[in-house]
Structures are given as C-alpha cells and as structure tokens.
A and B are shown apart, each in its own frame.
Chain A
C-alpha cells in the first residue's frame, strides 16, 4: 500500500527560529494535508493543498504541494512556544477510496 515518509522525526529548536519538515511518497496523491496534534487531542487541520505546485500560507505556516505530486513540505516561520506538538502530513488518493494516509509525524519542541 501507499506509504508516506515524513522527516525529521523530531526537532528541538529555539524560539524565533524557522522550521521545515517534509513528506515524500513513492506514489502520487491528489491532495496533501498538514495537521497538528497536541498531546491527548485529535489532529487539527492546518493547511490543505489541492494542486501540484500549489503554495499556500496560513499565518506563519507555509506549505507546498510538490510538482511531482509525490511530496510536500511545511515551513513554520518565527516559531513560538505554542508551536510545540506533533505535525503530521497526510495524503489523499482517489485510488484509495478517499482514505487519508498519514506520515509518521514530526515532534516539534521549542525552547523559549
């Protein structure tokens, strides 16, 4: 089945630094989604990408849908302590009946 490789697995950064994480796949996705999950909570949708090459921003967050449709990245600029959490990429393929396939997650720690 389809798999997403998300990296890095974890990041420890200083407040104010920029962060970048990415996901790659061996197969094509029609939609890429980025979620953030706080401990003990469900994932919250951050950004949705629908077209190859699309670059979308949501405040300090920017994400891009790769041209090949096999990858996506998420950037967080000027990180703050509340950015702490686990970030997941998720790909949706019509061939999979609309199921979301999740990456392994990137755990972000921000030092004040």
Chain B
C-alpha cells in the first residue's frame, strides 16, 4: 500500500500555544487528505477534508479557525491547532487518497497531542 508519513508522532505543548502537525504522502500524490481525531477506545472522527489547492471542508462542530488546515501541495498537508487547550489533547490522524475516484485511503501513524 501507499505510504503516508505523519510528524511528529507525539507532542506536548503549553496551553495557549499553537502546534503544527505534518502529513506527507511519500509515494503517491494525495489529491485529497482527511484529518481525523480519535479519543481513547473510540472510533475515528472526521474533522475535515482538504483537496490540494482548495480550502478545507470542515465537519459540523469543528472550528475552522482553531484547526487550520493547509494542503498547498500534492504531497503535504498540515493541521495547526491554534491556542491549544487541554481539551484539545487527543490522537490526530491524517489520511490521503490518490485522486477523487480513488476508493482507498492510507493513514499516517498518528500524532498524540497533550496540552498541559
């Protein structure tokens, strides 16, 4: 399968600071990238969908000004958690698809964010 690399794998930050998470497709062009959030023992909750060169589409209830998504190239998407609070602590995972018609999505390793 295709490889998606996500960094960092874990990060601890202070309340009020911003954190950037990178998601790179290593061997394919990810025209669409998805960002998920996962709480312990729960399923993946889709936060937003981004298509290269376009603004991200956010799911209902997700604050677009808090979770900034950039998808400036076909191999890189970033999620920035702005003014982080302890309740933002979670496991964030990205996935990429190659083309609108592609039906397989490949996931990054995830990022464990802890806000103290």
Contacts and interface: CB of A to CB of B under 8 A. Distances in A.
The range of chain B's interface size is 20 to 34
Contacts of A43: 44, 93, 107
B109 A33 contact: no
Contact of B49 (A45, A99, A102): A99
A100 B105 contact: yes
Given A40-B112, A102-B44, A103-B43, A97 B1 contact: no
The range of chain A's interface size is 20 to 34
Nearest to B44: A102
Contacts, number: 59
B94 to A, nearest CB: 8
B6 interface: yes
A98 interface: yes
Contact of A42 (B42, B49, B97, B109): B109
Interface of B: 1, 4, 6, 9, 32, 34, 41-44, 46, 49, 57, 91, 93, 95, 97, 100, 102-110, 112
Given A99-B34, A99-B46, 6 more contacts: A42-B6, A43-B44, A88-B43, A100-B95, A104-B42, A107-B41
